[in-house]
Chain A
Amino acid sequence: MNELAYIPALPLLGFLVLALGGRRMSQKAVAITGAGSVCAAALLTMVLCGQFFGSGAVGAAAGHASPASVHYDLQLGQWFHAGALSISFGLRVDSLSLVFMFIITFVGALIHLYSTAFMRGDRDYARFFACMNLFVCAMLILVMADNLVLLYLGWEGVGLCSYLLIGFWYDSPANCLAANKAFIITRIGDTALLIGLFLLFKELATLDIAAILRQSPGHFRLGSPVITLIALLFLAGGMGKSAQLPLQTWLPDAMAGPSPVSALIHAATMVTAGVYLIARMHVLFQLSPLAMTVTAITGALTLLVAACSAMVQTDIKRILAYSTISQIGYMFLALGVGAYGAAIFHFFTHAFFKALLFLAAGAVIESLHHEHNIFRMGGLKDKLPVVYWTFLAGAASLAALPLVSAGFYSKEQILWYAWRAANGGTALWLAALAGAVITAFYSTRLLLVVFWGEAKTSVSSRPGRLITIPLIILAFLSLTAGFVEWPHNLLPVHLFSGFLQSVLPAPATRSGGETIGQLLAVMATLAGIGVGYQLYHRQPEIGIITRWQQRPLAAAIRNFLFGGWGFDRLYDTLFVRPLVSITRLNRADIFDQLYVAVVRAARTGHRLLSASQNGSLRWYAVGVLMGILFILTLLL
Chain B
Amino acid sequence: MSTLFYLSSLVAIVATLMVITRYHPIHALLYLVVSFLAVAMIFLSLGAPFVAVLEVIIYAGAIMVLFIFVVMMLNLDKDTALQEKQWLRPRVWVGPALLTLVLLLEIGVLLVRGDLPALQLAVVTPRQVALSLYGEYLIAVELAGFLLMAGIVGAAHIGKHKKESLHRFLREETDAHEASAGDAREVHTGDGEGIPEKERKTWQL
Contacts from A to B (Cβ < 8 Å): 622, 625-626, 628-629, 632-633, 635-636
Docked Cα-Cα span, A507 to B63, in Å, equals: 121
Q: Which residues of A contact B96 (CB under 8 A)?
A: 622, 625
Chain B residue contacts of A632, Cβ below 8 A: 103, 106-107, 110
B205 within 8 A of A: no
- The dominant DSSP class at the B interface is helix
* Interface pair A625/B110, CB less than 8 Å apart: no
Least Cβ distance of A626 to chain B in Å?
A: 7
Tell me, rounded to whole Å, the shortest Cβ–Cβ distance linking B155 to chain A: 20
Could you list 21 examples of A-B contacts with CB < 8 Å? A622-B96, A622-B99, A625-B96, A625-B99, A625-B100, A625-B103, A626-B99, A628-B103, A629-B99, A629-B102, A629-B103, A629-B106, A632-B103, A632-B106, A632-B107, A632-B110, A633-B106, A635-B110, A636-B106, A636-B109, A636-B110
Expressed in whole angstroms, the Cα–Cα distance for A313 and B96 within the complex equals: 92
CA distance A633 to B106 in the complex (A): 7
Closest residue of chain B to A629 (Cβ to Cβ) is B103
**Bound Cα distance from A635 to B96, whole angstroms:** 21
* Complex CA distance for A633 and B99, rounded to whole angstroms: 13
**Chain A contact residues, majority secondary structure:** helix
Chain B min CB distance to A625 (Å) = 6
Q: Which residue of A lies closest to B106 (CB)?
A: A632
Rounded to whole Å, the gap between the CB of A624 and the closest CB of chain B is 11
**Given A625-B103, A632-B103, A632-B106, 5 additional A-B pairs, CB 8 A:** A622-B99, A625-B99, A629-B102, A629-B103, A629-B106
Residues of chain B within 8 A (CB-CB) of A636 are: 106, 109-110
Cβ–Cβ < 8 Å partners of A633 in chain B? 106
Least distance between A389 CB and chain B CB atoms (Å): 86
A109 to B106, CA, bound (A): 105
Residues of B within 8 A of A635 (CB): 110
B174 CB to closest chain A CB, in angstroms?
16
Q: Which residue of A lies closest to B99 (CB)?
A: A625
Cα A635 to Cα B110 in complex, Å, equals 9
Proximity bits, B91-113, A CB within 8 Å = 1, else 0? 00000100110110011011000
| Complex interface: chain A residues within 8 A of B102 (CB) | 629
Q: How far is the CA of A626 from the CA of B96 in the complex (A)?
A: 10
Residue of B nearest to A625 (CB): B99
Within 8 A of A (CB), among B65-100: 96, 99-100
In the complex, what residues of A have CB within 8 A of residue B109's CB? 636
Task: Tell me which residues across on chain B come within 8 A of A626, comparing CB atoms.
Answer: 99
Per the bound structure, the CA–CA distance linking A337 and B102 in Å amounts to 101
- Which B residue's beta carbon lies closest to that of A633? B106
| Complex: chain A residue closest to B109, CB-CB | A636
A628 CA / B100 CA spacing, docked (Å): 10
Distance between B139 CB and nearest chain A CB, rounded to angstroms: 29
